[in-house]
Structure 1
Amino acid sequence: MATEIHTERLVIREWRVTDAEAALAVYGAEDVARWLAPEMELVTDVATMRLVLQAWIEAQPNMVPPAGRWALVRREDDQVVGGVSLRLLPPFEEDFELSWQIRPDMWGRGYATEASRPLVRWAFGQGVEELFAVARPNNTRAIATARGLGMEWVGETDKYYGILLQVFRVRPDDIREGV
């Protein structure tokens, strides 16, 4: 995504190395990281977060479009409140996953849904035929967000990360008004 996406309250933009401290409040929070393992472990300090961001920034131009990782920044104060990504799911890298991570002190404000809606529309505009969201069965927040986006539950699988996950899907024809 070469340009930023703006919503009523958020800007979806490329990560910057200078976001390390703010990103640590997301990826260094146990309440966030526990849902990301085994794909990503808890980040424990700013220096490590800086290295993670640098790796994401360097990988971004080489990702299969429209894959990427972006920061969610609150427009009113330019504060990073989370991250969102589109990535190819393992093991076959055929299915695109939509994921979101929000700082725990920002939960319950609708930021994940607000950011995901235009990102889904943008991905479909890039030719993606369907997007998936995967969540552990007891990750009620992620499941509620997927459902709030109009994603359809399609079952459970351990195919992607070797752990049992709930799988949700959205296709361009599934998008209802407001999504």
Structure 2
Amino acid sequence: MNKASKKIKISSRYSEDEKLAIADEILEYIRERSRRGNGPGDKKWSGDAGVYTKSYQNSLEFKAAGKKKGKVNQTLSGDMLVEMDVLKISKDEISYGFSTDSEQYGKAEGNILGTYGKQKANSKKARDFLYLTNDEIRSILSNYPLRGEDAKTTREENVQSRLSAIEGLREFLFGKKQKS
């Protein structure tokens, strides 16, 4: 497991399509939470993690991106959050984040560890944006219930909706329908 990735345990009773839909929902949740300027538990970043460094605030990139000094949302260009991906889906686990050969791996690792291009990690500046609390995981999995009289129907509807969205995105990006 690399430093810019996470694993979560899931039930082995989920189908492959359900696991893919859950994984996609995890990524979407983290992206949206990050864009709002929030971290784990959907809480604002606090302390040093909640403020950009003075040098970053004065950088050309910061100004060109139209960033605001008060809101840490990890979206200078948006590239890092877009490149976050599902790394592996197994029988009872989903791994997500950044592969070590990803162009955005260093940036993600810097945010997670608080290194930001330096050798030494600074836990006060660290923003582990990939981390999901147990409540966040439960909330996502609640869309794919394994028990209850309508559980299977609910899962099927949510999976179909997710897979259609994924297919629509592929079509948009690649210009034609992709074979599954």
Same fold? TM cut 0.5: no
The structure having more radius of gyration, on CA atoms, is 2
Structure holding more strand per residue: 1
Structure holding more helix per residue: 2
Q: Which has the higher contact order (CA 8 A, sep 6+)?
A: 2
TM-score where L is the length of structure 1? 0.20
TM-score where L is the length of structure 2? 0.20
